[in-house]
Amino acid sequence: MFDMSFIFDLVRNVFLKMLQLIWFSKRGVTNSLSIFIKTNTGNTLAVDLNPKWDIKNLKEVVASRMGTSPDDIKIILAGKELHNSTIIEECDLGQQSVLHAIRIPSRKLNRSKDTSTIEESSEISELNDSGGKPMNETLSDLPLDESDPQESSSITEQSENRAHFTVFCSTPCKAVTTGKLRVKCATCNSGAVTVDRDPQCWPDVLLPQRITVHCENDLCPAPTSFSDNDTESQVLYARFYFKCTKHVSLGEGDEAVPLYLIKPNLRKIPCLACTDVRDIVLVFPCEAGHVTCLDCFRDYCSVRLRERQFQFDDTKGYYTLACPAGCPDSFIPEVHHFHLLTPEQYEQYQRFGTEEYVLRAGGLLCPRPDCGMGIIPATPDDGGNNDECRRIQCIGGCGYVFCRRCLQGFHVGECELQSSESSNTILKSDGYPVDPLRAKDAKWDEASKKTIQISTKPCPKCRTPTERDGGCMHMVCTRAGCDYHWCWVCQTQWTRECMGNHWFG
């Protein structure tokens, strides 16, 4: 007796391949995007696509190679299931990027139901809220803290509903570039996950165990926890990371460092040094949130570097800078921001930071010109009075032997007094002036709050501040999930009476 299921699967696969060939000939296009498709069973497929195709076309290509129907596949990117109508070129994909194809469990159980039930189930699946564009397309720019996510989000959504990220790409770009946000399962490191909610602030992205996910990887060793009623449940968390958009993807291990103090200046805050309003700015982590343009920030760093005026953050152990307005607790925590300097300056910054660490640890720098090797000698028991204990040799460097106390060539007996005018010289900053009046106007929080109070009104439903920049009085809330129609004059729901009495004021 023949195995009818085997024959059915064989005929179906041949039929799908024929459809695929017919589809290619009808489209008449040249594939120009090479990507990898990872399945939830551990397989990886290399696929060539046309960026103008949509996700439905992609499913048709992948389905035959997975031995299933296009309707039984869902495509995941950046924590979101992509709709069939999503265009591939809108997904921030580059050459050699990775998508995840998940085979949906068999629908044989639904086949026993009537046709109307199956169609209804399919329609609900198509409109599922989990589907949509990846996070980079739907996220607004993240606020720097958790104090005012609604305020920052509302301002951003008035401009454009798209997140902007700046990263440092160490390989291969070795430069500050634009970035895109991606997410993995923190347990199995698989990208085949859908987030339970979008990140609302930078702590959601930078700190662990902030957002839970649903992992589609069949090989994921999901951890378990017990709730109050002793029922076992799976708890999986997201691990967010960033990729550079300027080079061909190097795989899922290709990551870049987020420079989260650099933001698009959607609030039009002037620079505290030059007072210009630039599109991209750096926001210092001080309470006032002072803003500086990137050109002035480079000048500020260059002057402080030239005068060796960088400081050590004792709490974090970083060689860094504070807000130029003198604000307390304003050290820049992510030192990769200093990659805005030239490569030569950043190398000098690293050398100065290493030297400062050696000195703070009780070490010495070799005094011989063009050496400067850091040396941490053993602490002498007699305070260094013994001649042998005062003898220091630059091992691993130039080999110079010198006296611990006077830093001259090693000698026996008392040290001669040496003039040290250079070490007593007080260096003053002369390249980055800060006017106290300008500093008041360059506060990120205060200036934006004043602008919001003057030029916006809250949505009557969700209280999101909304700005009217012309047109009629019919307002539609821009906050995702609200979409409330309201009247700018009455500040209530939009009605036919509003349309008749003051549609245009």
Q: Which amino acid is at 498?
A: C
Per DSSP, the three-state class of 8 is helix
248 is written with which tokens? 């061909």
For the question of residue 406 being annotated catalytic, the response is: no
DSSP class per residue in 458-488: E-TTT--EEE--SS-SEEE--STTT--EEET
Spatial distance between the Cα atoms of 126 and 120, rounded to a whole number of angstroms: 10
* Nearest Cα residue to 72 out of 40, 46, 97, 99: 40
What contacts 84, CB < 8 A, 6 or more positions away?
54, 55, 56, 59, 126
CB 180 within 8 A of CB 268: no
Per DSSP, the three-state class of 367 is coil
477 is written with which tokens? 């809330």
Spatial distance between the Cα atoms of 86 and 235, rounded to a whole number of angstroms: 30
What contacts 297, CB < 8 A, 6 or more positions away?
282, 340
Determine which one of 472, 477, 487, 490 is catalytic: 472
- Return the active site residues: 472
